[in-house]
Structure 1
Amino acid sequence: MLRRALTCVLTALLSVAALLATGSPAQASTVVVTNATQFTDTTGAVVHAHGGGVIEVGSYYYWFGENRNADNTFKAVSAYRSTDLKTWEFRNDVLTQDSAPELAVANIERPKVIHNATTGKFVMWMHKENGTDYTQARAAVAVSDTVDGDYTWQGGFRPPTGTTSRDMTLFRDDDGTAYQITSAAGNADLQIWRLTPDYTAYESLTANPWAGTFREAPALFKRGGVYFMLTSGNSGWKPNQQRYATATSIAGPWTAMSDVGDDTGYGSQTTFVLPVQGTSGTSYLYLGDRWGNSMGGTVNDSQYVWLPLAFPTRTTMTMPWYPQTVIDTEAGTVTGTGGGPYHNLVARHSGKCLDVADNSGADSAVTLQYTCGGGLNQQWRLKDAGNGYVQILAQHSGKCLDVANGSPADGAFVNQYRCTTGTNQQWRLQDQGDGYHRLVARHSGKCLDVADASTVNGARLIQWTCGTGANQRFQRRAA
Structure 2
Amino acid sequence: MALWHWRNTGRLADTDGKFLHSHGGHILLAEDGYYYLYGEYGEFSMTRQVGRKVSCYRSRNLMHWENCGVVLSVDTPRAAYHLTKHTNPTLQRNPGPAQEARWAGWNDRVQVGATIQRPKVLYNPKTKRYVMWMHWEDGKGFYYAHAAVASAKRPEGPFTYHGSFRPAGEMARDCTLFQDDDGTAYFIAAGRDNADLYIHRLTEDYMAVDECVKCLFPDQFREAPTLFKRNGVYFMLSSECMGAEPNQGMYSFSRELTGRWSAQRPLGSPTTYDTQPAFVFSIDTPQGAQYFYVGDRWNPSEFYRDARYMVLPLYFPDDTSIDMRWCDGFTFDPANGTLQEEVRETGLSRIKSRVVESKGGYLYPAGDKVGCRKLDYREEALLWRLEPANEGRYYIRHEKSGLRLTYGLDGKSCFLAAADTGYNQQFNIEALFDGACRILTQDGLALTVDQELPQAEMALGLAPRREIYDPAWGCDPQAFNITTVYPND
Name the TM tier (shorter chain): 0.5 to 0.7
Q: Which residue of 2 aligns with 1:68?
A: 42
**Matched-pair contact (CA < 8 Å) for 1:284–1:334:** no
Q: Which residue of 1 aligns with 2:418?
A: none
Give the distance between the partners of 2:340 and 2:288, measured in 1 at CA: 13
Q: Is structure 2 residue 52 aligned with structure 1 residue 52?
A: no
Q: Is structure 2 residue 256 aligned with structure 1 residue 279?
A: no
When residues 324 and 133 of structure 1 are mapped into structure 2, their CA distance, relative to the original with a 3 A threshold, is same
Q: What secondary structure is seen at the aligned counterpart in 2 of 1:143?
A: strand
| Paired residue type of 1:55 | L
Unaligned runs of 5+ in 1: 1-27, 343-382, 393-403, 408-414, 425-479
Give the distance between the partners of 1:122 and 1:177, measured in 2 at CA: 14
CA deviation after TM superposition for structure 1 residue 112, in Å: 0.4
1:317-361 per-position Cα deviation (integer Å, ceiling 9, x unaligned): 11111121333345455553213599xxxxxxxxxxxxxxxxxxx
Q: Which residue of 1 aligns with 2:430?
A: 406
When residues 331 and 113 of structure 1 are mapped into structure 2, their CA distance, relative to the original with a 3 A threshold, is farther
Give the distance between the partners of 2:3 and 2:195, measured in 1 at CA: 41
Q: Which residue of 2 aligns with 1:154?
A: 162
Q: Is structure 2 residue 328 aligned with structure 1 residue 323?
A: yes
CA deviation after TM superposition for structure 1 residue 42, in Å: 0.8
Q: Larger Cα Rg: Structure 1 or Structure 2?
A: 1
**Matched-pair contact (CA < 8 Å) for 2:429–2:438:** no
When residues 112 and 257 of structure 1 are mapped into structure 2, their CA distance, relative to the original with a 3 A threshold, is same
CA deviation after TM superposition for structure 1 residue 416, in Å: 11
**Matched-pair contact (CA < 8 Å) for 1:232–1:241:** yes
**Matched-pair contact (CA < 8 Å) for 1:61–1:82:** yes
Q: Is structure 2 residue 165 aligned with structure 1 residue 191?
A: no
Q: What secondary structure is seen at the aligned counterpart in 2 of 1:300?
A: strand
Q: Which residue of 1 aligns with 2:63?
A: 86
Q: Which residue of 1 aligns with 2:277?
A: 270
When residues 385 and 112 of structure 1 are mapped into structure 2, their CA distance, relative to the original with a 3 A threshold, is same
Give the distance between the partners of 2:339 and 2:62, measured in 1 at CA: 11
Trace 1:426-441 onto structure 2 (pairs within 5 A). none
Trace 1:132-211 onto structure 2 (pairs within 5 A). 132-160=140-168, 162-211=169-218
Give 1:102's match in structure 2, choosing from 65, 76, 91.
91
**Matched-pair contact (CA < 8 Å) for 1:49–1:66:** yes
Q: Is structure 2 residue 318 aligned with structure 1 residue 310?
A: no
1:159-207 per-position Cα deviation (integer Å, ceiling 9, x unaligned): 11x2210000000000000001111111000111100000011111111
Q: What secondary structure is seen at the aligned counterpart in 1 of 2:324?
A: coil
Trace 1:114-133 onto structure 2 (pairs within 5 A). 114-133=122-141
**Matched-pair contact (CA < 8 Å) for 2:137–2:143:** yes
Give the distance between the partners of 1:219 and 1:54, measured in 2 at CA: 12
**Matched-pair contact (CA < 8 Å) for 1:180–1:193:** yes
Q: What secondary structure is seen at the aligned counterpart in 2 of 1:102?
A: coil
| Paired residue type of 1:63 | L
When residues 37 and 416 of structure 1 are mapped into structure 2, their CA distance, relative to the original with a 3 A threshold, is farther
Q: Which residue of 2 aligns with 1:39?
A: 12
**Matched-pair contact (CA < 8 Å) for 1:37–1:305:** no
Give the distance between the partners of 1:187 and 1:199, measured in 2 at CA: 24
TM-score between the two structures when normalised by the length of structure 2? 0.64
Unaligned runs of 5+ in 2: 79-89, 93-111, 348-383, 395-427, 442-489
Q: Which residue of 1 aligns with 2:457?
A: none
**Matched-pair contact (CA < 8 Å) for 1:170–1:179:** yes
CA deviation after TM superposition for structure 1 residue 236, in Å: 2.0
| Paired residue type of 2:312 | L
Percent identity of paired positions between Structure 1 and Structure 2: 37
Equivalenced residue count is 337
TM-score between the two structures when normalised by the length of structure 1? 0.65
**Matched-pair contact (CA < 8 Å) for 1:218–1:231:** yes
Give the distance between the partners of 1:222 and 1:215, measured in 2 at CA: 19
| Paired residue type of 1:232 | S
Give the distance between the partners of 1:249 and 1:60, measured in 2 at CA: 31
When residues 33 and 423 of structure 1 are mapped into structure 2, their CA distance, relative to the original with a 3 A threshold, is farther
CA deviation after TM superposition for structure 1 residue 418, in Å: 3.9
**Matched-pair contact (CA < 8 Å) for 1:227–1:249:** yes
Q: Which residue of 2 aligns with 1:366?
A: none
**Matched-pair contact (CA < 8 Å) for 2:91–2:113:** yes
| Paired residue type of 2:141 | D
Identify which range, 327-336 or 222-231, moves more after superposition.
327-336
Q: Which residue of 2 aligns with 1:452?
A: none
CA deviation after TM superposition for structure 1 residue 283, in Å: 0.9
> Larger helix proportion, structure 1 or 2?
1
1:98-146 per-position Cα deviation (integer Å, ceiling 9, x unaligned): 0155336111000000000000000000001111111111000000000
Q: Which residue of 1 aligns with 2:473?
A: none
Q: Which residue of 2 aligns with 1:362?
A: none
